Amino acid sequence: MALFEATQIHKRFGDQVVLESVSLAFEEGQLSGIMGPNGAGKTTCFNVLTGRFAPNRGVVRFAGQDITGKSPREIARLGVARSFQIMNLFNDDSAIDNIVVALKSVQAQAWSVWRDLGRHTAAYEEAAEILREIGLAGKESMPCRRLSYGERRALEIGVALAARPRILFLDEPTAGLGAEGTTRLLELVGRLKQKITIVIIEHDMNFLFRLADRISVIHWGQVIAQGSPAELRDNPWVQRSSLGGLPA
Ligand SMILES: Nc1ncnc2c1ncn2[C@@H]1O[C@H](COP(=O)(O)OP(=O)(O)O)[C@@H](O)[C@H]1O
Ligand SMILES: [Mg+2]
């Protein structure tokens, strides 16, 4: 059984049907990619899978448990993390404080940690380790707003990792990054995929084709194609959209 499974998800806003009937399965230990044109319903799909919207029909299962209609908070607590297409950081706080407040160990004790110096230190050590993992060692006390755009995108991923999730959803992580930032992110996600199950929405096909074990194409509210990068290479939609830019 897949770690995460969505079956025949239907989602509409008023009269507008955004997801007609979407079924997806994400295997443990794999990196799954989702592609599709703007407005295809990819972000809406993430919103349904992570609890922001309940589907009108369909079932979402995580680790064998039916999580359909549960709140984002409940779903997060079960081990599902996401980072957002729009950034979601505390800009006045330091890089490390952004991680500390998101740590599973800190969240579990509400705010009592601030009064407990011993645990406080452990939390900062744990957060520093995450900063190292995402390539931000040395930037611990830098106020978030002074980090570069690429560093803030990495920090967002660090905040998601702080919850110690079993599965990580990333919505267009390369958005706004230049070539160098994209290369750095490719390395980071390439490292993370050794440790954690990842699902990525991404319009940068080059990025996705290098990383993904399996890719699903969402169009017209349906999954119109699915397979390994090699299998999808000849897909007409992929061919049209990539303009010959796929990695060799
Ligand atoms: N909260 C919402 N209320 C109404 N319509 C929405 C809402 N969220 C998304 N939509 C609509 O759903 C469609 C798909 O949007 P989205 O999921 O953001 O697409 P994608 O991420 O593939 O670009 C769009 O037409 C958008 O306007
Ligand atoms: Mg989107």
Band (pLDDT 50/70/90 cuts) for residue 119 is low
Helix and strand numbers, DSSP H then E, in the chain? 10, 10
- Output the pLDDT for position 1: 86
What CA–CA distance (Å, rounded) separates 114 from 130? 19
Residue 39 Cα to ligand 2 midpoint, Å, equals 7
Domains and CATH numbers, the chain: 1-79+165-248 (3.40.50.300), 86-156 (no CATH)
Average pLDDT over residues 204-227: 95
19, 35, 44, 47, best to mutate for ligand 1 pocket (most atoms within 8 Å of CB):
44
**pTM (two decimals):** 0.92
- State the virtual CA torsion across 219, 224, 230, 233 in degrees, nearest 10: -60
Average pLDDT over residues 187-216: 96
Residues 78, 83, 85: CA angle, nearest 5 degrees: 145
- Closest residue to atom 1 of ligand 1, CA basis: 13
Given a cut of 70, whether residue 229 has pLDDT beyond it is yes
- Closest residue to atom 24 of ligand 1, CA basis: 39
Tell me the pLDDT tens digit for each residue of 22-45: 999 999 999 999 999 999 999 999
Give the rounded distance of the alpha carbon of 212 from its chain centre.
Answer: 13
CA distances from 108 to 77, 99, 123, 164 (A): 10, 14, 12, 12
Band (pLDDT 50/70/90 cuts) for residue 118 is low
Band (pLDDT 50/70/90 cuts) for residue 120 is confident
Provide CB contacts within 8 A for 86, sequence distance 6+: none
For ligand 1, whether the C-beta of 43 sits within 6 Å is yes
Given a cut of 80, whether residue 197 has pLDDT beyond it is yes
- Output the pLDDT for position 121: 86
Given a cut of 80, whether residue 234 has pLDDT beyond it is yes
For ligand 1, whether the C-beta of 11 sits within 6 Å is no
- Which helix (H) or strand (E) segment holds residue 239: the answer is helix 236-242
Band (pLDDT 50/70/90 cuts) for residue 94 is very high
Percent of the chain whose predicted confidence (pLDDT) is above 90: 81
SS3 call for 161: helix
Among 185, 156, 182, which residue's Cα sits nearest to residue 169?
156
For ligand 1, whether the C-beta of 36 sits within 6 Å is yes
Residue 209 Cα to ligand 2 midpoint, Å, equals 19
Residue 41 Cα to ligand 2 midpoint, Å, equals 7
